[in-house]
Amino acid sequence: MEYFQFLIILMLSPLIQGIIRKLKANMQGRIGPGIFQPYYDLIRLLKKDMVISGVTSWIFKATPYIVFASTAAASMIVPVITTKSPFDVMGDVIALIYIFALGRFFMALSGLDAGTAFGGEGSSREMTVAILVEPMMMLSIFTAAISAGSTNIARIAGSGLLFSPSHILALSAFMIAIIAETGRIPVDNPDTHLELTMIHEGMLLEYSGKYLALMEWAHYMKQMLLFTIAVDIFFPAGISNGTESLALASSFGIYIVKILFMAGLMALVESTRAKIRFFQLPSILGGAFVLALLSLLTYIMMSK
């Protein structure tokens, strides 16, 4: 099972997206779509024909495969239910951030490749957010990495870290980074198609059919992957350090509970906050960067 634990993220990520949508709808007094709606959307898109602009280059056609493959590769090096994995040697947090950056880079290029104003606008905004988010993620994860004595995610998860002032600050910064990385309110609105406000959706406007399905599926996987990193690093209790069937089953149950908690938290944030203007993002993300920096300084001064 340790060889295939990444399939949990691959197969269940659309379900987590459906649960978030359902919870958000219930909190807002709506019925909302069913929790399996993302699966139906992906199947429908995979059956549809694609409309491709004649001015696009190979970048536009290759980007969906690169984004999906990079996200799948990232899910293979992150422990899900056990720290024992044949890929744990490559599970370094620095490599993980660069794998995410690879997908983001090609998404931004594809937004520019079609030559549309809204695609270029979405790409520009995405890279602006990335400049602010990536250092914040690095610092918040480094706080836990220093405590564990390794930048390997499996070793950090297996160290059984306890809460301390530095980790609480790092967790706060990382949660804001998750909201920004997944394009959720208040940073972005994943449900809108208003061209003047969207960031992530702006880069996908020219995609359709199978290409759009791959991009959307990769986005669901990235969201669940970030949830998994958060619970692995800051809530490592319950993850198995072995490969026994009973231990894996118990770890899987605890993992699902933690992921559902993260999904409920995201739905609550989106239901209680309003989207902010784009020029206000640096103040919020800059504040989160300060939290991440303080977490590292706090650990250095307090050694915990």
DSSP string of 34-97, one letter each residue: -TTHHHHHHHHHHHS-----TT--HHHHHHHHHHHHHHHHHHHSS-SSBS--TTGGG-BHHHHH
The number of distinct structural domains making up the chain is 1
Cα angle at 135 between 169 and 240, to 5 degrees? 60
Q: What is the DSSP letter of 162?
A: P
Place of tokens 């999904």: 263
> Once rounded to an integer, what is the mean pLDDT over residues 19-25?
92
Residue 10 within a domain: yes
Is the confidence at residue 2, as pLDDT, over 70? no
Residue 71 within a domain: yes
Residue 1 within a domain: no
- C-beta of residue 169 within 8 angstroms of C-beta of residue 292: yes
Cα angle at 134 between 229 and 258, to 5 degrees? 20
Residue 19 within a domain: yes
How many whole angstroms separate alpha carbon 217 and alpha carbon 224? 11
For the chain, what is the mean pLDDT?
84
Is the confidence at residue 202, as pLDDT, over 80? no
- C-beta of residue 139 within 8 angstroms of C-beta of residue 285: no
pTM of the model: 0.90
Containing domain of residue 86, as a range?
6-302
Tell which wins on pLDDT, 279 or 264. 264
Is the confidence at residue 40, as pLDDT, over 80? yes
Residue 153 within a domain: yes
Could you read off the pLDDT of 128-179 as tens digits, one per residue?
888 888 888 888 888 888 877 777 887 777 666 656 788 888 888 898 889 8
